[in-house]
Amino acid sequence: MDTLFSLAGKTAVITGGMGQLGIEYASSFFERGAFVSLIDISDKPKAYSSSFEQGLKSGRIKAYKADITDKKSIEHSAAAIISDAGVPHILINNAALDSPPDAPVSEVGPFEAYPEESFDKVMDVNVKGTFLCSQIFGGHMALQGRGSIINISSIYGMLSPCQDIYEYRRKAGEVFFKPVAYSVSKSGISNLTRYLATYWAKKGVRVNTLTLAGVFNKQPQGFLDAYCARMPMGRMANADEYVGAVVFLASDASSYMTGSNLVIDGGWSAW
């Protein structure tokens, strides 16, 4: 293994670690020698891989149940993780809420009627959760004089959602608009990255954004057809296609990179 991309001996924290991408990141980090701590409100993984199962059995992948919108809950998990594996070298702020393409009518109506409670819930997880985890784990990293924080964003944090993708639902007689909260939250993540990158630069903590496009996850066929027709590469990403970028940002291969936004989107933003 090229030592430039090695994660041997490092401790990583991944929020939303029981989700589709969290499991991919955890498996890859385990394969590269890291101790991986997963934080999630759920204690049941959404998928398994042979590496993930091996990591759990070996104790080098370990789950910690916590609510990232609750500071005390994160602090409790942080104390356990530090006791088990030391101060983390890597934090991936991966946990997020979004309205899926088959979301209920109450969440996907016109902007003027978008529920305040839905907005608050998305912002709490996507922005407040990232802020709190960065504050707690990043603070420990800064005291150690090293660390890499990777904030996961979306093309919808860079660009407005393409509402035409959801025309298949409107043709079926439904009122459907991609909601506003996810875009606003992911846009906010990008500037939180820039703030923390400059704030902690001299403390040795690097902070970068990784902006992703959609991932295939058994979405409705009408959505897939419309989305893939809009994508230059003609398809959604497979879950393992973001691993290389995450390893790069976590490892010494990106040692002079901070405050940046790495876009892996199949060409979506190139139109």
Query: Cβ–Cβ contacts within 10 Å for residue 260, how many?
Result: 16
Q: For the chain, how many helices (H) and strands (E)?
A: 11, 7
The reply to whether 169 falls in a domain is no
pTM of the model: 0.96
Q: Is 209 helix (H, G, I), strand (E, B) or coil?
A: strand
Q: By C-alpha distance, which of 174, 10, 199, 155 is closest to 105?
A: 174
Residues 18/132, Cβ–Cβ less than 8 Å: no
In a domain, residue 192? The reply is yes
* Alpha-carbon separation of residue 266 from 130, 161, 262 (angstroms): 25, 16, 12
43 in a structural domain: yes
Question: pLDDT tens track of the chain, all 271 residues?
Answer: 578 999 999 999 999 999 999 999 999 999 999 999 999 999 888 777 889 999 999 999 999 999 999 999 999 999 999 999 999 999 999 999 998 767 778 889 999 999 999 999 999 999 999 999 999 999 999 999 999 999 999 999 999 999 999 999 899 898 899 999 999 999 999 999 999 999 999 999 999 999 999 999 999 999 999 999 999 999 999 999 999 999 999 999 999 999 999 999 999 999 9
Q: Containing domain of residue 55, as a range?
A: 3-102+119-159+180-217+238-265
261 SS3 class? strand
What is the distance between the terminal CA atoms of the chain, rounded to a whole angstrom? 36
Between CA 88 and CA 41 the distance in angstroms is 20
Give me the sign of the Cα torsion angle 17, 19, 25, 31: positive
Let me know if residue 232 belongs to a domain. no
How far apart are the C-alpha atoms of 19 and 98, rounded to whole Å? 13
Domain assignment of residue 52, yes or no: yes
Give domain status of residue 30, yes or no: yes
Q: What is the CATH number of the domain that holds 91?
A: 3.40.50.720
Query: Number of folded domains in the chain?
Result: 1
Report the SS3 class of residue 13: strand
Note whether residue 63 is domain-resident. Answer: yes
Q: What is the DSSP letter of 208?
A: E
- Give the residue from 59, 65, 67 showing the smallest Cα distance to 85: 59
From 134, 242, 224, 266, select the one nearest 188 (Cα to Cα). Answer: 134
Closest by CA position to 237, among listed 260, 257, 263: 263
Question: Which segments within 41-136 are labelled E, that is strand?
Answer: 61-65, 90-93
Q: What are the Cα distances from residue 7, in Å, to 36, 63, 251?
A: 10, 19, 6
Please report where in the chains the tokens 């959801």 appear, as a residue.
Answer: 166
* H or E segment to which residue 183 belongs: helix 181-200
Domain assignment of residue 170, yes or no: no
